[in-house]
Chains A and B, each alone.
Chain A
Amino acid sequence: MGIELIRGDNFMTTTLASAVNWARKSSMWPFPFGTACCGIEMMATLASKYDMARFGAEAVRFSPRQADLLIVAGTICNKMAPVLKRIYDQMSDPKWVIAMGACASCGGIFDNYTVVQGIDEIIPVDMYVPGCPPSPQALMYGFTRIQDMVQKGRGQSLTATAEAVPVLPV
């Protein structure tokens, strides 16, 4: 806009939305919905060794009204489904959802009468993190992709990036 030219390097111009989104993605407040073994791996991710605080997500909130990222880590049974739905509904917009692990994504190994076959049957999901359980690195990768979505808009995180996967020698 030219203000940089007039006032020197102390100014930077941007759009309001991208500034707000940058603030948002750098201070996500997750709601940990750990119901099974994946919850343990999520705790490891949040704890000091792997440390989600590096990405600004260390302020874990146990009230859905204060959280903007729902991490569903674990098996969701039919009796738990209304609770999860209500917690999702209580979170204020804008909100994002990570389905962590095979159980939350598709029911996992529990193809039986008690388990919801993927939380996307009841709430929208932004990011599926595969694994049983996913490693902390996988969860953090999923989280950083959520950050991309916060910055660029939903569904925008999977556009081709510079981090091309190197082809392994066979």
Chain B
Amino acid sequence: MDLAILNQKLTGAFSGMAYSTAEACGQATVEVPADRVKDVLKFLRDDADLQFDMLLDVTAVDYPARTPRFEIVYILVSTERRHRIRIKTRIEDGRALQTVSDLWRSADWGERECFDMFGIRFDGHPNLKRILNPDNFYGYPLRKTYPLRGERDPAFLDYKETEPA
């Protein structure tokens, strides 16, 4: 995806929104504020020149030392225009994002996985429950603070105290 075109589009449609772009190995990334991310995604899907009609993945990254702590990554592909882009946003633990499962149905399971593994909530999601771990699972295992061996780990007690589910 050509960042020049994208910049032009984004400043046209979202004047006044603070965002940043980056490019690595020919792959474009845009970071937007958490409260605007759904608008941006909807725009990217509906714009006639961009047509991002496929959401490849929704996932998260945990940076325990940063505030806000989590980075949510949306990977979009346009099967019409043959280009792809990553949209990132940052969110604090305990805050929720708007669901995009009404824009792309593939977001349904991606957001459930995000919730299951990182404990990130998505407002308006039709069925936000665990998808990979058992229903009675405690904690969010892809957080860097989660002890590797789970409940068998001596560090689990600490985890349970500091990060209630």
Chain A contacts to B: CB under 8 angstroms: 78-79, 111-114, 117
Whole-angstrom distance between the Cβ of B160 and the nearest chain A Cβ: 13
Q: Are B148 and A79 in contact (CB under 8 A)?
A: no
Q: Are B149 and A111 in contact (CB under 8 A)?
A: yes
Chain A's interface: helix, strand, loop or mixed, by majority? Answer: loop
Bound-state Cα–Cα, A117 to B153, Å: 13
Q: Are B151 and A113 in contact (CB under 8 A)?
A: yes
* B33 is an interface residue with CB less than 8 A from chain A: no
Give B103-136 as 1s and 0s: 1 = Cβ < 8 Å from A's Cβ atoms: 0000000000000000000000000000011100
Bound-state Cα–Cα, A113 to B159, Å: 13
Bound-state Cα–Cα, A126 to B27, Å: 55
Bound-state Cα–Cα, A104 to B141, Å: 23
Bound-state Cα–Cα, A113 to B150, Å: 4
State which of A79, A113, A117 has its C-beta within 8 Å of the C-beta of B141: A113
- A79 — which chain B residues lie within 8 A by C-beta? 132-134
State which of A78, A111, A112, A117 has its C-beta within 8 Å of the C-beta of B134: A78
Q: Are B150 and A112 in contact (CB under 8 A)?
A: yes
- B153 — which chain A residues lie within 8 A by C-beta? 113
Known contacts A111-B149, A114-B133, A114-B141; 11 further A-B pairs (Cβ under 8 A): A78-B133, A79-B134, A111-B148, A112-B150, A113-B141, A113-B146, A113-B147, A113-B148, A113-B150, A113-B152, A117-B152
State which of B132, B133, B149 has its C-beta within 8 Å of the C-beta of A112: B149
What residue in chain A is nearest B141 (Cβ atoms)? A113
